[in-house]
Structure 1
Amino acid sequence: MACRVQKRISLRRKLHILRVLTNSNSAKRTSIAKSTVLRLYKLKLALETVKRQYENLLPTRREYISLLNHVKENKDVKIEKVGTRTFMVRVTCEKGGDKLVAILEAFDEMRLNVQQAKVSCENTFSLEAIAVAEDQTVDVRDITESLLKAIGKKSGEEDSQNFDKCCDL
């Protein structure tokens, strides 16, 4: 007899919990069961809607990340010819590596003398310089290509190439 009473009390507690969770005002078991099934069905539909929205957002997220990566890898080199042999050089790129050293080596290879320069590497690496060519055969396009090649080099890449050349002998 005590076992039946405990089962009834347990059942009433469970029905009360279901009634609270499903916002059902009915005291009947069948009504509570129906409202529970209806609530579960609505939750299932809501879950499917959220999954569908998530799947639709994934391609947008991928596109956004690829655009951010493209912006990060932006290299900007602007050369203006100021005089007959004088150039105003502006370089902006991501910071890291030996950018300044590579740019100065490129200037040296092209036989450009730097008269004045400003360098900043707070958020990105930027350089503004006034350079004078030793000969008049230097063109804006040549300087641009040389600087893009210099800032595109990863640090230590040149050393490994020189090492490979030495080992090939």
Structure 2
Amino acid sequence: MVSREHNRAAVYEKLQLLRSVTNSHAVNDTSNIIDASNYIKELKGKVERLNQDIATSQYSTGHGKNHHHQQLPVVTVETLQNRRFLVNMHSQTSCQGLLVFVLEALEELGLHVLEARVSCKDSFRLEVVGGDNVQAIENMDAEAVKQAVFQAIRNWISST
């Protein structure tokens, strides 16, 4: 009985701490956890934007050598059914050689490219559906794929 009350008090204390960290005003535990989950997603988005800002800043201050004013491609990754990922990239300018870096990064992750559409005449657009390698992608999520694509972009920048 004392142990149960002790556990209940500990859980209550942890939920109060969670409420204070996430600025949640939820009354019940489920709502509090949902608020915390949303807060974590929001933080991930902020980190992602900061990483893109850092990469853009490095790119525009000379690390991109011949491409001082070129913007980095916008990247989105979605999880599809059957453990597949949809990678979308778009840039207002041509990104000569970037396709190779991105495809190599996807291959290193163990993703098989099942379908790809590329346009790189005046702008750069890439849409890739990858998946099917169940062992390689069993514990992979869209964020891991996105980070690999960003690393490919950084590698491309340093090679140009």
Larger radius of gyration: 1
TM-score (norm 1): 0.47
TM-score (norm 2): 0.49
